[in-house]
Structure 1
């Protein structure tokens, strides 16, 4: 299906294709005031992981991509390509339209819809699409609000009321969607070494508001390996390059364990809480965790990495008579990699039983080499698959082979290296490692001293859960509409039975 370019007529053709932009490159001029045409961008977004699981699982449905769109292996996120549009160098915003269609079908639950003409508008901070249902197409349906970042990478999304209607669950309104990434896959040609280099024209560094200061937009890098931001200000030589092997100076691990598990713990079935300590943090909105203080060794020549992280996370739920049927702590997380494959291990405490160095997940990075940029090795969206030992650690709540949340690693090879960061969402560093004061089970939590707690106990606060509506209480965020009330009740009862069995065992 051809992509409709309803707004491309506004693009000014008088400005050359974007090259490189420094933080001070935008001097006022007539050229800078014109909109810069952009091409060759790709948008990757999974809508919501639990929704994909619902479609291919309970609904026995399918995702079908066409017209250039694709889906990552293992029921992963979707990528729409050939994005084109414009960059406003005055407001520092981008407006891009992408090619590709996504069809979502389930004969069992009686729905079929198609998404096309996916668009990202950083000024409006939203992603939209044309939605076709029952033979009728609605243009530019706002599917998610986007927390726009300068790098346009792993941007947090919040599903809209319209998305809740499109995807069949009222509980999706206001729920966290999958992260959204917009990158330029086809950069403009570079001048030849023998040709005088013209004055650079700006490339986009979008922001949600014109007041933010622009920085360089991300340049193409090998898959899943990105460059950390360079320190601001002029350079005067700087430190020497790191050795090809040696001790790790610092780093952090971003990992959410599994989104549906987090939702289940703080939801109305488990009535539980999530607590981080030892320097670990959790992103707002019951988001993923960040484990800091990396130590270990690396060898870029051999493509190997062994790194351990500080901090721990505890999941508790199903409290009865002062005891928890679910009480799981993960600490001492360690990642080992060799030629693009590896594993994630942790010390596991479950219902009073301690197990060290449990292999929770098998890892795949998508690249076989470790390429430091700015003395930092950055690996994003590392695939994590639950092992047999990991399934046992989770009380067989999930089976071996289940796809867990992807992991993000940032490893500093020198003391002077600057880790990529931010205060919210992208690296999971939002939230404190202060103390817990309980809170409601709506996933907001509160903090005041040695740890941070998300969720609430059965003695206080609401029990609405981090995700609301229908079957979302099982932790899978399944749309209830197509299933009906009877199916919803059955699944909720089944999910509760799993932990009820474990509770009986602890009393034996």
Structure 2
């Protein structure tokens, strides 16, 4: 009876331990068998394995939704319909009956890409390795060209998992819904979108126990080793160390890195309300590159960012542009490639400013007062709302002309800046008004009036107040007499033309 019981016990042990570690049930039986065997416990083959694992459902939805990306499974991996889980096939491995450790490797790879959100993540060479009640899913992970080989991507908790019979030929064992959590290296591999310990999709492992692993053929090869010292070719081998100069190549991999910790966001800013009002009298503001008009200015889309909430540091870049044109007053200014650099209570807004004279890159345009905001994320979002902004000396120079200088002075109040940064995929961003800014457009008879200094064009500019009428001279090809006339009326804060224009619009300029 003992003879018939032993195979059943061993099969159960294999199945349970292959299930990634129910050693509590198998160890006593194996220990009893070991006492009767002189050789060390053998390793058994595992074959026909599959691993069903979706990585993280919310991440798959983010890739195919907000990120407008793609998911590609190939090389032996497949994905279930409707953006479902992945199945890695062709699993081959071993089970050590002495240590209860398993090592199973699977075919296939999965790639997540998004041109919009600028990421490319691949998972390949997937393995499941376990011992006892713990284990890990290991893989080679490539993030935007940088490869991390054989890292523990997910931790497995096998304490409550029991094997089930999969049916079919070979007695396949199924270990369903193994809980998985993200490791520290896994969090880095996903560009910091998720934190260590984040819950991932459960994994289902299917394996078929096979026969003993063939004996080691390495033993006969040992006698040949003594003959090697007699061989003369060994001396020339020291010359080969000259090849270590190639380690410079791996150092190239870290270069294509994505800023950690941020996956989405936006910048909302109106530059200066009085300037927008002035442009609306006869010019227009045009957005491009993903920027949008909103009621109090413009919203610029997220490009990239580094965020350290604990250290209160931000280095964020935003796409899109806004271009202000007022043909009659010679204005053509475009603001693009906006950046926010913040450190504690102080920050700077930078921009590329383009006029007919050329482009000034990374102009330190505005100083930001961050003393009243919090860098602490709420629901995975850092929201710096309506940060006070003032014009810098470099910003004021962008409006200067060769005759009257700049109508704006350093320290002058600008529209507040709102920065939103999401540190996790799928986080809900605070909603902002996406409506078109009122008053903008090409209409406005003042811009096309026949008199170069008459109440049409000058009156429109004069209503801006604070000397902004001289903005007509920026990048101007209009006769200087017209521009100086407009500047004179505006700087005089003017009189009847200003009052009349304000009454016509029914509101005061800021």
Q: What TM-score do the two structures reach when normalised by structure 1?
A: 0.38
Query: Does 1 or 2 have the higher relative contact order (CA < 8 Å, sep 6+)?
Result: 1
Greater helix fraction, Structure 1 or Structure 2: 2
Q: What TM-score do the two structures reach when normalised by structure 2?
A: 0.38
